[in-house]
Amino acid sequence: MVPRPSLTPDSFARLLDTEPLAERERLLTEAAGLAGRRPRVAAERYIAASGAAVIAGHSDLAVADARAAQRLGRRLGANERASAQLALGFALAVHDPRRSARLIRSSLGALGARMDFARLNTAGSSLMWLDRPDASRVVLETAIEHSRRLRDPWLASHLDTLALLDYRTGRWPLAEARSTEALRLATECGYITQVASCHTTLARIAAARGREDECRSHLSAAEKVSGRGSLAFAYGATALALLELGAGRPDAAARSLERIGAADQATLFDWRADLVEAYVAVGRRGDAAAALAALEEHARATRRRTAAALAARCRGLLAPTSEIDEAFGEALRLHEGLALPFELARTRLHYGERLRRARRRADARPRLSEALEGFEALGSVTWSERARRELASVDRRERRDDAALPLSTREHQVAALVQRGTRTREIAHALNMAERTVEYHLTNMYRKLGVRSRTELAHRLLSSAPSGS
């Protein structure tokens, strides 16, 4: 039998309220008072305090609290030591992800069947953030399986966390179904913080799909139950910004992301990349450069491949024309193996947009086509439409450019015979060329004159002929 969790959804909710550092201080005070008499409970308090520090964005404090739990754990059993090690792994996720991943995997192996559901949820979230989606999925699916069997109150949290992973990896219908179930369970159990979390997950899915009314409805519901300044509020701001970017309102997207402020709580979404994009779109290049610098520092500090890929994409948005390929090429290379189809499609879209503006339309077309294919596969309506507009712009420009090209001597000869209604075989015989060469010249003329058939070609040639000829 798996033991009941030392950290319940109710106590975990306090870690996600508007003042996680205040909650940390309360937990530390309790831990200090219990260390001599009840070291096992004190270790649990230190682990919870470490979680509060992580949520508040203070990884240094989180590491210190986890190490305090480790010191107590040495006097206790293997389970307590592994739990403290897991807390340390979570605390190190921001600045030392490689070591963090090793600690998390080792902790899971040591805890085995004794793993409580709070620790499983923490581990699943950490592995997802560390760009290890397969490992995260195994942990979260295991947690869901056991939670369903034991009717554990953590089920809603596990479902919503896995929904977030499904969203990131492009399984949007499944993500929506999981988070909807999680919302129902959290509502029934009265876990208000989890209710807000589910609403923000569903809001982000709706934002990516371009469902504006649905997105705003979920955001409104999340804000009602969590209030401004909470972690859910920060995640909601990232979802709203994504909605605004997809709808072509970058100024509104920038305002939404600026609401997060310096606390930088929304770590599971790499929102700085969206802020750079919004600033570039509204012409605030200085602000975009500053936001990019922060993103690059974040990528260096965490050594996360996702952050590095998005930083490279943002460099492509700001790079001079001569450096477009270098920046976006690096971004696409970093995307390999990340299983983030939506972000990959966005990178291809931005690459294609920049190539088109650089008048490299032949190079832009495949990137834009790949982006459109990616967005359509995901069911992202607004982003698909944006890619279609870019492709249409490439097509219009190519037609205008081709229409300005003069017909060659051979094309004029073929055109003259077409106007008389001469068949392809007869044109080939008259001009002493192969039939496929005639078709080649016809195709070129169609392209240059923006027509699609012999009839349209004949009308176009007739209308452009000098009067009296």
SS3 string, the chain, reads CCCCCCCCHHHHHHHCCCCHHHHHHHHHHHHHHHCCCCHHHHHHHHHHHHHHHHHCCCHHHHHHHHHHHHHHHCCCCHHHHHHHHHHHHHHCCCCCHHHHHHHHHHHHHHHHHHCCHHHHHHHHHHHHHCCCHHHHHHHHHHHHHHHHHHCCCCHHHHHHHHHHHHHHCCCHHHHHHHHHHHHHHHHHHCCHHHHHHHHHHHHHHHHHHCCHHHHHHHHHHHHHHHCCCCHHHHHHHHHHHHHHHHCCCHHHHHHHHHCCHHHCCCCCCCHHHHHHHHHHHCCCHHHHHHHHHHHHHHHHHHCCHHHHHHHHHHHHHHCCHHHHHHHHHHHHHHHCCCCCHHHHHHHHHHHHHHHHHCCCHHHHHHHHHHHHHHHHHHCCHHHHHHHHHHHHHHHHHHHHHHHCCCCCHHHHHHHHHHHCCCCHHHHHHHHCCCHHHHHHHHHHHHHHHCCCCHHHHHHHHHHHCCCCC
Q: Which of the four pLDDT bands, split at 50, 70 and 90, describes residue 62? A: confident
Q: 363 vs 314, 386, 403, CA distance in Å?
A: 19, 18, 20
Q: 50 vs 28, 31, 65, CA distance in Å?
A: 9, 12, 5
- Report, as an integer, the average pLDDT of 430-442: 87
- Report, as an integer, the average pLDDT of 43-63: 81
pLDDT of 402 higher than 70: no
Cβ-based neighbours of 36, under 8 Å, separated by 6 or more? none
Residue 436 is part of which domain span? Answer: 409-464
Q: Yes or no: say if 203 and 233 are a contact pair by the CB < 8 Å rule.
A: no
Q: Round to whole Å and give the CA distance between 266 and 269.
A: 6
**Is the four-CA dihedral 40, 46, 49, 50 of positive or negative sign?**
negative
Q: Which residue has the higher pLDDT, 114 or 297?
A: 297
pLDDT given at position 398? 56
Looking at 41-45, 52-56, 210-214, which range is the least confident one? 52-56
Judge whether 414 lies within some domain.
Answer: yes
- Whichever domain contains 446, its CATH number is 1.10.10.10
Q: Yes or no: say if 222 and 238 are a contact pair by the CB < 8 Å rule.
A: no
Distance from CA of residue 123 to its chain's centroid?
20
Q: Which residue has the higher pLDDT, 165 or 10?
A: 165
Q: What is the pTM of this model?
A: 0.70
Q: Which of the four pLDDT bands, split at 50, 70 and 90, describes residue 325? A: very high
Q: Round to whole Å and give the CA distance between 46 and 69.
A: 5
Long-range contacts of 390-394 (CB under 8 A, 24+ apart): 390/349, 390/352, 390/353, 390/356, 390/364, 391/365, 393/356, 394/356, 394/361, 394/364, 394/365, 394/368
Judge whether 436 lies within some domain.
Answer: yes
Judge whether 438 lies within some domain.
Answer: yes
pLDDT of 358 higher than 50: yes
- Report, as an integer, the average pLDDT of 56-84: 84
Judge whether 383 lies within some domain.
Answer: no
Q: Round to whole Å and give the CA distance between 319 and 47.
A: 44
Other C-beta atoms lying within 10 Å of the C-beta of residue 337:
9
Q: How many domains does the chain have?
A: 1
Mean pLDDT of the chain: 84
Judge whether 204 lies within some domain.
Answer: no
- ∠ CA(57), CA(60), CA(62), 5° rounding? 70
pLDDT given at position 362? 85
**Hey, what are 300's tokens?**
């260096």
Q: Yes or no: say if 318 and 288 are a contact pair by the CB < 8 Å rule.
A: yes
Judge whether 435 lies within some domain.
Answer: yes
Q: Which of the four pLDDT bands, split at 50, 70 and 90, describes residue 54? A: confident
Judge whether 288 lies within some domain.
Answer: no
Judge whether 90 lies within some domain.
Answer: no
AA identity, residue 80? E
Residue 130 phi/psi, 5-degree rounding, is: -85, 15
pLDDT given at position 376? 94
Other C-beta atoms lying within 10 Å of the C-beta of residue 229:
15
- Report, as an integer, the average pLDDT of 249-259: 93
Cβ-based neighbours of 77, under 8 Å, separated by 6 or more? none
Q: Which of the four pLDDT bands, split at 50, 70 and 90, describes residue 4? A: very low
Q: Per residue in 277-318, pLDDT tens?
A: 999 999 999 999 999 999 998 888 777 899 999 999 999 999
